[in-house]
A and B are shown apart, each in its own frame.
Chain A
Amino acid sequence: MKKIEAIIKPFKLDDVKEALTEIGIHGMTVSEVKGFGRQRGHTEIYRGAEYQVDFIPKLKLEVVVDAELVPEVVKMIEQKAKTGSIGDGKIFVSSLDEVIRIRTGERGKDAV
Chain B
Amino acid sequence: MVEYWNGGMSKIRFYCPLPHYSNTPLSLKPSSEVPDMSQFESPVSVLREKKELLIARFLKGDEPCFLERHAKILDDYFRESFAGSSVGPRIRMDKNPYAIIALGGYGRKEQCLHSDVDVLLLFKKKIPDEAKEIVQEIFYPLWDIGLDVGYAIRTLKECSKLACQDFEVLTSLIDARFLCGISSLYSDLMEQLHGKVLRRYGHAYIGWLAERNQGRHTRFGDSSYLLEPNLKDGLGGLRDYHSILWAARAKYNLKEPKELELVGHLSHDEFQCLSRALSFIWGVRNWLHHLSRRKCDQLYFEYQVKLARVLDFKQGNGQQAVEVFLGALHGHMEFLKQQHLMFLNKALPRKRGPGKAERRAVAKGLEVVQDALNFESPETILHNPKLLIKIFERSARLGIPLSIEAKRLVKEFLYLIDENFRSSRAVVQSFERILVAPSQTFNVLDEMLNTGMMVALIPEMKGIVNRIQYDEYHLYPVDKHSLRTVQALKSFGGPGLEAQDTLCRKLFSEIARPELLLWAALLHDVGKGEQGKDHARQGAEIVRSVFKRMGFAEQDIEAISFLVREHLLLINTATRRDLNAEKTVVQCARKIRDTERLKMLYLLTVADSMATGPKAWNDWIAVLLKELFFKVYHILKKGELATPTAIEIVEKKRQEVLESAAAMPRDALETLFDQMSPRYLLYTPSKEILRHIDLYQKLGREPFALEVQAVPGTNYRTATVCARDFPGLFSKISGAFTLNNLDILSVQIYTWRNHIALDIFKVKAPPDTLLEDEIWVRLKNDLRSALKGKLALGPALDQKLRAYQSLRKRIPIRPDKIVVDNRTSDFFTIIEIYAYDFPGLLYKITDTLFQCKLDIWVAKIATKVDQVVDVFYVRDFDGQKVDAPEQIGAIKEAIMEVLASNPTESRQPTRSALI
Contacts and interface: CB of A to CB of B under 8 A. Distances in A.
A32 B879 contact: no
A85 B623 contact: no
Interface residues of B, number: 23
Interface stretch (B27-35, B159-167, B398-406, B572-580): B572-580
A23 to B, nearest CB: 23
Nearest to A14: B576
A11 B67 CA distance: 53
Contacts of B580: 83, 85, 87
B624 A57 contact: yes
A17 interface: no
Given A9-B578, A11-B578, A86-B879, A51 B503 contact: yes
Nearest to B581: A83
Interface stretch (A42-50, A67-75, A89-97, A101-109): A42-50
Given A44-B627, A83-B580, 13 more contacts: A10-B575, A10-B624, A11-B576, A32-B618, A32-B621, A34-B619, A34-B620, A34-B623, A44-B630, A51-B626, A57-B623, A85-B580, A87-B580
B623 A46 contact: no
B638 to A, nearest CB: 15
B879 A49 contact: no
Closest 5 CB pairs of A and B: A85-B879, A86-B878, A32-B620, A86-B880, A44-B630
Contacts of A24: none
13 contacts: A10-B576, A11-B577, A32-B618, A33-B620, A46-B506, A49-B506, A51-B630, A53-B627, A57-B620, A57-B624, A83-B580, A83-B879, A86-B879
A79 B878 CA distance: 17
B506 A47 contact: yes
B769 interface: no
B855 to A, nearest CB: 10
B502 interface: yes
Nearest to A39: B880
A53 B880 CA distance: 15
Main secondary structure of the interface of B (DSSP, over half): helix
A49 B503 contact: yes
A24 to B, nearest CB: 25
B878 A38 contact: yes
Contact of B503 (A11, A39, A46): A46
Contacts of A84: 879
B882 to A, nearest CB: 12
Interface in B588-620: 618-620
A80 B619 CA distance: 26
Task: Report, as a range, how many residues of chain A touch the other chain.
Answer: 20 to 34
Interface of B: 502-503, 506, 575-578, 580, 618-621, 623-624, 626-627, 630, 633, 875, 878-880, 883
Contacts of B619: 34
Nearest to B877: A86
A83 B576 CA distance: 14
A86 B502 CA distance: 30
Interface in A20-56: 32-34, 38-40, 42, 44, 46-47, 49, 51, 53, 55-56
Contacts of B502: 49
B618 A53 contact: no
Contacts of A42: 883
Contacts of B626: 44, 51, 53
Nearest to B625: A57
B55 to A, nearest CB: 28
B630 A85 contact: no
Nearest to B631: A44
A14 B633 CA distance: 28
B578 A83 contact: yes
Given A11-B578, A46-B506, A53 B623 contact: yes
Contacts of A14: 576
A18 B618 CA distance: 25
Nearest to B618: A32
Nearest to B577: A11
A42 to B, nearest CB: 8
Chain B CB count within 10 A is highest, among A34, A39, A44, A47, for A44
A106 B626 CA distance: 45
A33 to B, nearest CB: 8
B573 to A, nearest CB: 9
Contacts of A44: 626-627, 630
Contacts of A83: 578, 580, 879
A9 to B, nearest CB: 7
Contacts of A40: 880
Contacts of A9: 578
A87 B506 CA distance: 31
B727 to A, nearest CB: 12
Contacts of B576: 10-11, 14
Nearest to B575: A10
Q: Tell which of A11, A32, A51, A84 has the most Cβ of chain B within 10 Å.
A: A11
Nearest to A31: B620
Contacts of B623: 34, 53, 55-57
A51 B629 CA distance: 12
A47 B599 CA distance: 14
A40 B881 CA distance: 10
Contacts of A55: 623
A49 B630 CA distance: 13
Nearest to B579: A11
A86 B855 CA distance: 13
B195 to A, nearest CB: 56
